[in-house]
Amino acid sequence: METSSMSKGVFVYRGKRSKGGRKSRSPNKSSPRKIRKTREEEGLGYSQETWYPAYKCVLMSLEDQVQNLYTDMFAQLLENVSVFLGRTSSTAINEIPTAVVLTGINLPDHAVIFEAVEKKLIDDISPHVVLLSSRTCSTARHLFGQILNKCQFGDSEMEIESAEDSDDIETPQLRKRATKCTFSEISLWYKNQGSDKPVIVVLTDFEAFTPSVVEDFIYLASEYKSEVPVALVFGVATTETTVHCALPHRIMSRLAMETFATKNSKDVLSHLINEVILSSKCLFRIGGTVFKMLTDIFLFYDFSIQSFLQKFKFCMLNHFAKRGVFAVYCKDDLTVDFMTSKDVAKSIVPKLKSFRLFVEQHRGQEKLDLLTNDDHIKETVIRLENELLDHFDYFLVGLKCLHEMTASLPQHPLGRQVSDLYFEAVSKKIWEMPEYLKCASLWKHLSGTELEEQLDRILLILEGASNELAGLNEWIADITIVNAKLKRIFTGQRSASCSPKKQNKAAELSGLSRTQLQQQLKELSKSSPVQNKFELVRNEALELVDKMFRSLLRPPREMPLHELMLFDDLELAKKELMGNSRLALNKALFNPHHYLKCKCCEQKYEEGISTSFPDVCISYHLHLEFMKHINLYDWLQSFNLIVERNAEEEEDSPVSTETQARFTQSIADMQFLGFIKPTSRKADHVLRLTWGNNCA
Amino acid sequence: MSASENMSIDPEEKYSEILQKLPGRHKQCRVLIDFFSTPGQIPASIFIHGNSATGKTLTVKTVLDGLKIEYVHLSCVEFDTPGLLAAKIASNLNGEYLQLSSSHNCSSLMELVENLQAASKIKNDPFVIVLDRAERLREMPSTVIPALLKLREISNMNVCVILISDLLWDRFYHGKMRFCKPLISLFFPQYTKTECLEIIRSRKPEGVDDAFYCSYTSILLRVLYRFCRDLNELLYMANQHFVLVKKLSNDQRTIFITLQPHLKAATQNVHLRQGIQQNQNVDQKAPNSSLISAVTAMELPYYAKFLLMAAFLASFNSPKHDRRLFAKHHGMQRKKAATSRKTVKRSSLIVGPKPFNFERLTAIFHSIADTPYLITTNLCAQLATLVNLHLITKVGFSGLSNPKFKCAVGLDFIKAVGRTVDFNVQRYIMEDF
């Protein structure tokens, strides 16, 4: 294709796209979300790696599980909305039925919700469902145009846009795409298409819409109600008062609103963690500190499930890229078996700290084998990894049991969520922590019924998992015995009323004088309280449970080869996931090598300013040495000294014009970055704006 | 001629049918009928004003329909440019008079006038243009309203323009319309209580006993009319609450007892259109809790709450107090400052939020929220979210380099937010309340 130049220097390439190629694209593929996803996966350049298929499999299973979770969670909400709209749009009322969906402020998640809403409404009520976002609806007529387009052509925007680029002739109907139209055109279209299903308009981000646009739309929709039945869905991120504030009474009186709330996003996260991330199905295990960081970002910053998942996936990809095949190793997988013993021996495994510690534990021939014999190394690695994987499943079950025991305690010494326990237990012996000891002391005050209930629930968890984990059976047997004992005591106690011994004591005490009573009470306090039957059994039960936790909750972080399975690189995660723009800026200016990775600037900080630094970095370094007011001439002199360091040093040589230009440029950059600003007091001075120690 | 003969035979009987359809609007209806009953002498322009839900459009349409006069009704909200307006009128006109299938490209008022002139040559029957929400005409070029009002003069056709609006004519006036005023101005007052009752009863759902509905509506109106006189709202309330009493017997007492708690709640949120299920929840809560529940319902992330509070403090405190409020060693306050503070005191919360820049926001944020990190991208994204949700508004077009913001939430709201994170906002406001 020819290249044509519009104005000098700009070349317009007309896109070349074959006709067949475009048509073969199925409509559902063209949704932008999916395109983005495939690009993400392919663009990383990892697709040739050996671990990549396994990684992709893990990713897919994660995504499937998340999708299922979402479907479960939204089911009730979608049902309610659809029932409401179905009911109101079938009966003739004067108002426009309006469902206000409170979505929570986690903006990135809204797309998922509204995708589900759209699908449900199309299935249940009407094919004419229009999703609108405020970006495309700056005026009322743009909004009508959007509605008409989406109703007429469906959601195939991408295809039509690409059709406009290409040269071939389309059918005139497709060509005619109104970006603006009036409501009467919508009503005309509705009359022609023949069905009497309502048009459902979903305003996904109600807050961002211009109120007057929504006003006009509602006004006209209710004017045309007899011709075009319209139903509305507002996605409101804050509260429904926003709707009341945005719309005047005149418009409100045309709506029949009902509010629907989505689930609290904190609940959603804990659900997600319990069901997906901390389940044995998830094949990527995340370390305590990184996991805590992710949840903290969620709780403190954004409340967004989507971005949480993105960060989680990022950790996953990083881990797999670093650890390769071993990271995705699972019991049924044969990838490692295909590797030669030599590969295993040469690979990262022997370098791992935990493996070296493991080797150190052995003596003599065994140690030698572990260091030199490739076959032996491979065998050991596979054995250890199997052990670790097995243990991790037990660990998760143990965690759930512990959560059952601690969740209902006053003040929640170990936190309310399973994830709180996980943060600690994965890397430390949780039974040595003071919080655990506090819990243990609180358990001693449990009443019989409470204890019984908790044991029942623990049994339920253990039995649920025992199909796959045979090692749990002995614990089940032991706990059942204790539980039965407990129950027996209760049935016995209920038949015998208050113990006669105590009554006697009370009677004895009542007849005494004050001094005698004092004496008596002192004696009573000295004698150790006699443990009754229940207390004995309770202690037995608690000891058993404690023993179980000690065995199940052995921290995976302390086992050999844990690096292969647990991703616990907090530094990396922090660097990549908690962006700090100012820190980055300072770092770049102070030590350009950190980002440029050039050879010339490779040096330690102490060496000071190098000639090879970019100009703006030199200026930055120099300005750190000045006080509040910076004399530009002094600055220029120092700049000149550094830039011309290699040239022969002559006193009082004038600064070359080139240096002057470079200096001016760098000063302008500094001003743009907000480090200095000109003052009106002195013409040749600038004001320094930042203070304090620079962060390197 | 036949029309006038009919009229002379029995004018009242002919129009009683129209009047019947419009309870409570007989006076206005008669006026309109007077104007339009003699086809040769219809006025050139009429201006109708009155609050919403007073039957303006309904009356005009019913009268014109009843008298069988050709008219086109359009809303200035939809046809918001002179071109669109002209095209719509012309297409109707051509359909009626010129029997053309489509308007031959009428895209300006001038062409409309030409069309009207052509139509007047064919036959001179009256033609009425009804423009609803006429206040929107003010947003069009200033010549449009004068042109519409003088359409008869210009086009020489028997045409009448009716403008319907919520506003008074004074609000339409501007310099260029000095000699231009609608000939007749007609006011539609609010419906009285008995008229409301009559209209609500006329919209009785089918299959309901008359006497029962009568007593139901009178109870409803007795309670609600004090709070709300809007007919639409009353109709909505009547529909909403009827479900509750549907199955009761016709006994005023039982109806009242069943309705009472719901009506009590309804008085709190007339015009809010919240549906009846929620009303029940509301009356169980304490009266002051609605705001707090709104805050908890919104569930902001932890730092977002502090960001919002920092924004509030930044926009309601003057920058000169920042040092005293937030710096650790601010030293003693001079006495002079204390006395001069009084003038500041009164103003800031009444005057409203002042704009502040990003730097000041972050400085305050860091001094009130104990963060281990400096401003991170996550926090900046959170600020963008708050701006998006209209909790903080961006001021002006200062662009990327130095954005300015304002806090858009009130004191009560921010106090409730502060309570959720154990932070006493009031301590930091240089005001007394």
DSSP state of A457: H
Of all residues in chain B, the one with the smallest CA distance to A207 is B389
Side-chain-side CA neighbours of residue A32 (13 Å): 5
Residue A7's pLDDT band, with cuts at 50, 70 and 90, is very low
User: What one-letter code names the amino acid at A207?
Assistant: E
Interface residue B390 vs chain A (CB under 8 A): yes
User: What one-letter code names the amino acid at A478?
Assistant: D
What pTM was computed for the model?
Answer: 0.78
Whole-angstrom Cα distance, residue A448 to residue A455?
A: 11
Residue A31: the pLDDT is 41
Of all residues in chain B, the one with the smallest CA distance to A140 is B78
- Tell me the angle at which helices B302-316 and B411-420 cross, rounded to the nearest 10 degrees: 140
Question: Is there a contact between B302 and A299 if contact means CB atoms under 8 Å apart?
Answer: yes
pLDDT tens per residue across span B168-218: 888 887 777 777 777 788 999 999 999 999 888 888 888 888 888 888 889
**CATH: 1.10.10, 1.10.150, 3.40.50, 2.30.30. Which one for A581-688?**
1.10.10
Chain B residues with CB under 8 Å of A104 CB are: 299
Question: Is there a contact between A253 and B232 if contact means CB atoms under 8 Å apart?
Answer: yes
User: E strand or H helix at A231, and its extent?
Assistant: strand A230-236
**Facing residue for B301 by CB, picked from A140, A184, A301:** A301
Min Cα distance A458 → chain B (Å) is: 33
Whole-angstrom Cα distance, residue B25 to residue B56?
A: 9
Min Cα distance B7 → chain A (Å) is: 34
pLDDT more than 90, % of chain B: 11
A108-122, A330-344, B247-261: least confidently modelled range: A330-344
Of all residues in chain B, the one with the smallest CA distance to A265 is B299
A163-167, A682-686, B128-132: least confidently modelled range: A163-167
> A-B interface: how many C-beta pairs under 8 angstroms?
131
pLDDT tens per residue across span A177-209: 667 788 888 888 898 888 888 899 999 989 889
pLDDT over 50 at A32, yes or no = no
Cα-Cα end-to-end distance for chain A: 52
Residue A21: the pLDDT is 37
Whole-angstrom Cα distance, residue A103 to residue A107?
A: 8
pLDDT tens per residue across span B383-416: 888 888 888 998 877 666 678 999 988 888 888 8
**Facing residue for A238 by CB, picked from B239, B298, B374:** B298
Q: Which residue has the tokens 């900046």?
A: B380
Question: Is there a contact between A261 and B297 if contact means CB atoms under 8 Å apart?
Answer: yes
Whole-angstrom Cα distance, residue A598 to residue B298?
A: 49
DSSP state of B364: H
Min Cα distance B197 → chain A (Å) is: 18
- CA-nearest of B18, B126, B12, B124 to B72 is B126
Question: Is there a contact between A582 and B374 if contact means CB atoms under 8 Å apart?
Answer: yes
Chain B residues with CB under 8 Å of A184 CB are: 78, 88
Burial of B234 (0-12, 13-18, 19+ CB in 10 A): buried
Chain A residues with CB under 8 Å of B273 CB are: 95, 98, 252-253, 255-257
Chain A residues with CB under 8 Å of B301 CB are: 105, 298-303
User: What one-letter code names the amino acid at A90?
Assistant: S
Question: Is there a contact between A253 and B133 if contact means CB atoms under 8 Å apart?
Answer: no
- CA-CA distances (angstroms) from residue A50 to A331, A339, A341, A343, A672? 17, 11, 16, 13, 47
Q: What is the mean pLDDT of residues A510-534?
A: 75
pLDDT over 60 at A314, yes or no = yes
pLDDT over 70 at B343, yes or no = no
Whole-angstrom Cα distance, residue B348 to residue B409?
A: 14
Chain B residues with CB under 8 Å of A254 CB are: 232
Chain B residues with CB under 8 Å of A205 CB are: 388
Residues β-bridged to residue B70: B127
Output the furthest CA–CA distance in chain A (Å, rounded): 118
Question: Is there a contact between A208 and B271 if contact means CB atoms under 8 Å apart?
Answer: no
- CA-CA distances (angstroms) from residue A545 to A13, A476, A483, A682? 72, 11, 11, 77
Interface residue B322 vs chain A (CB under 8 A): no
Chain B residues with CB under 8 Å of A583 CB are: 374
Q: What is the mean pLDDT of residues A577-590?
A: 83
Whole-angstrom Cα distance, residue A357 to residue A352?
A: 9
Interface residue B311 vs chain A (CB under 8 A): no
Question: Is there a contact between B388 and A208 if contact means CB atoms under 8 Å apart?
Answer: yes
pLDDT more than 90, % of chain A: 7
- Tell me the angle at which helices A581-590 and A615-623 cross, rounded to the nearest 10 degrees: 100
The sheet with strand A255-261 has its strands ordered as A129-132, A199-203, A230-236, A96-102, A255-261
DSSP state of A413: T
The sheet with strand A629-631 has its strands ordered as A629-631, A685-688, A676-678
Chain A residues with CB under 8 Å of B377 CB are: 578-581
Of all residues in chain B, the one with the smallest CA distance to A582 is B375
**Among positive and negative, which fits the CA dihedral A620, A622, A624, A630?**
negative
pLDDT tens per residue across span B226-238: 888 888 888 888 8
pLDDT tens per residue across span A65-95: 888 888 888 888 889 888 888 887 766 667 8
Q: What is the ipTM metric for this complex? A: 0.86
Superfamily of domain A70-263: P-loop containing nucleotide triphosphate hydrolases (3.40.50.300)
Burial of A174 (0-12, 13-18, 19+ CB in 10 A): middle
Q: Are A617 and A589 in contact (CB under 8 A)?
A: yes
Chain B residues with CB under 8 Å of A301 CB are: 301, 303-304, 376, 378-379, 381-382
Question: Is there a contact between B273 and A253 if contact means CB atoms under 8 Å apart?
Answer: yes
Q: Are A577 and A304 in contact (CB under 8 A)?
A: no
Residue A217: the pLDDT is 93
pLDDT over 50 at A42, yes or no = no
- Token code pair at residue A383: 């054995």
Burial of B118 (0-12, 13-18, 19+ CB in 10 A): middle
Residue A76: the pLDDT is 87
- CA-nearest of A319, A372, A385 to A345 is A372
Q: Do domains A70-263 and A581-688 have the same CATH topology?
A: no
Chain B residues with CB under 8 Å of A141 CB are: 80
- For chain B positions 134-153, those within 8 Å of chain A (CB to CB) are none
**Facing residue for A182 by CB, picked from B78, B274, B303:** B78
In this predicted model, which residue has the larger pLDDT, A144 or A31? A144
Burial of B1 (0-12, 13-18, 19+ CB in 10 A): exposed
Q: What is the mean pLDDT of residues B354-365?
A: 89
Whole-angstrom Cα distance, residue B50 to residue A666?
A: 66
Domain ranges of chain A: 2-14+27-66, 70-263, 269-429+553-566, 581-688
Q: Are A478 and A544 in contact (CB under 8 A)?
A: yes
Q: Could you give the residue ranges of the DSSP H alpha helices within A91-196?
A: 110-124, 140-153, 157-165, 172-175, 183-193
Min Cα distance B293 → chain A (Å) is: 10
Q: How many residues does chain A have?
A: 696
Question: What residues contact residue B331 under an 8 Å CB cut-off, 6+ apart?
Answer: none
Q: What is the mean pLDDT of residues A21-44?
A: 42
